[in-house]
């Protein structure tokens, strides 16, 4: 090999070289080549933690595994049903409860709509909550929450215990959505079962040939599973628009399990609790899944005003 830049080295000729001579030459290794091979071998070796001359590679690996398990436990989704509700499901062999309707509001505006127009017009009881942790939020098992808090609560209609409602204002991370679906829908007996999901999204996420500034927001769009046969209360979401996060996961789950489900997505330019965005869901009150639940809306406006006032006061002191 060359010893300095620009040196002319004669290439070895293969003429007249036997195979045995080739193998012998291959076995012979130049000192420079040996040094390079040894350095490359060192780089390929796994990194080892050393403390005081002692090899701690095994301890380091165990530490990584323990840390991974700890993070996984922190990110586990816990569904906490109250004692009375859990006792009512113990009679069944699979610990499931009959459910005919499941109404889910994702986000503060969707949850406020359900509070003002659905929960306020009937007698409901809190039967459970979700406890989870991720990079964006942390929830607890408390049921005394403010409209601006991050929470996920389940309610059951007292006059018809097969009707379940969920307000979810917390962010459910992508790796937690499957847990949420399995632990919530896994407890339901899905006979004559329907699902309605309400959520909001930024109007800038809506894809249309028209300029976004020409859109009159907020506005509703619907997306449904193949099994949902009822009429929707607004136009369907056009391609190539998509939905994300928990609403998309719920709708995908229902499509796979052939559950009639519909998603009402409100596109808005508001990023916080907004009374105009909340009232944009009102056309859905005439839908079949909500019509039997909403009997008296006379107090809805008052309840909505209280929610907005409470949120504004809370924002001042936070």
Q: Which two tokens stand for residue 216?
A: 């009159």
pLDDT in tens, 163-201: 999 999 999 999 999 999 999 999 898 778 999 999 999
User: pLDDT over 70 for what percent of the chain?
Assistant: 66
Output phi, psi for 164, to 5 deg: -120, 140
Residues 270-301: tens digit of each pLDDT:
888 888 999 999 999 999 999 889 877 666 66
Q: With beta carbons less than 8 A apart as the criterion, state whether 109 and 274 touch.
A: yes
The better pLDDT of the pair 269, 250 is held by 250
Give the mean pLDDT of the chain. 79
Distances (CA, A) of 161 to 11, 68, 89, 140, 196: 89, 40, 12, 25, 17
At residue 113's C-alpha, the angle toward residues 109 and 119, to 5°, is 135
Q: Is 114:198 a contact under the CB 8 Å cutoff?
A: yes
Task: Quote the tokens at residue 228.
Answer: 């949902």
Task: Name the band, by pLDDT with cuts 50, 70 and 90, for residue 52.
Answer: very low
8 A C-beta contact, residue 122 and residue 297: no
Is the entire prediction scored with pTM above 0.75? Answer: no
Q: What is the pLDDT of residues 94-119, one digit of tens each?
A: 778 889 999 999 999 999 999 989 99
pLDDT at 294: 86
Q: What is the average pLDDT across 78-95? A: 80
Q: Where is pLDDT greater, at 280 or 215?
A: 280
């Amino acid at each position: 090999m060359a010893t300095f830049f620009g040196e002319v080295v004669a290439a070895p000729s293969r003429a007249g070289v036997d195979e045995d001579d080739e193998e012998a030459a291959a076995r012979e290794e130049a000192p420079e080549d040996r040094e390079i091979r040894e350095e490359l071998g060192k780089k390929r070796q796994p990194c080892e933690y050393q403390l005081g001359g002692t090899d701690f590679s095994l301890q380091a690996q165990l530490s990584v595994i323990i840390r991974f398990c700890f993070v996984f436990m922190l990110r586990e989704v816990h569904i906490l049903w109250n004692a009375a509700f859990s006792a009512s499901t113990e009679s069944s062999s699979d610990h499931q409860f009959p459910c005919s309707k499941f109404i889910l509001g994702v986000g503060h505006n969707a949850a406020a709509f359900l509070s003002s127009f659905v929960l306020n017009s009937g007698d409901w009881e809190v039967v459970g909550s979700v406890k989870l942790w991720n990079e964006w939020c942390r929830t607890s098992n408390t049921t005394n929450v403010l409209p601006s808090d991050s929470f996920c609560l389940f309610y059951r209609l007292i006059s018809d215990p097969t009707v379940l409602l969920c307000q979810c204002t917390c962010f459910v991370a992508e790796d937690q959505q499957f847990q949420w679906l399995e632990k919530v829908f896994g407890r339901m007996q899905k006979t004559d079962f329907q699902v309605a999901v309400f959520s909001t999204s930024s109007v800038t996420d809506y894809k249309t040939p028209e300029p976004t500034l020409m859109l009159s927001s907020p506005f509703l769009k619907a997306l449904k599973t193949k099994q949902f046969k009822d009429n929707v209360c607004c136009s369907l979401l056009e391609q190539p628009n998509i939905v994300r996060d928990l609403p998309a996961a719920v709708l995908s789950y229902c499509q796979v399990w052939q559950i009639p489900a519909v998603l009402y997505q409100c596109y808005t330019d508001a990023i916080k609790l907004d009374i105009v965005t909340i009232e944009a869901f009102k056309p859905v009150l005439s839908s079949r899944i909500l019509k039997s639940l909403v009997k008296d809306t006379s107090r809805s406006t008052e309840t909505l005003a209280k929610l907005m006032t409470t949120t504004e006061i809370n924002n001042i002191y936070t």
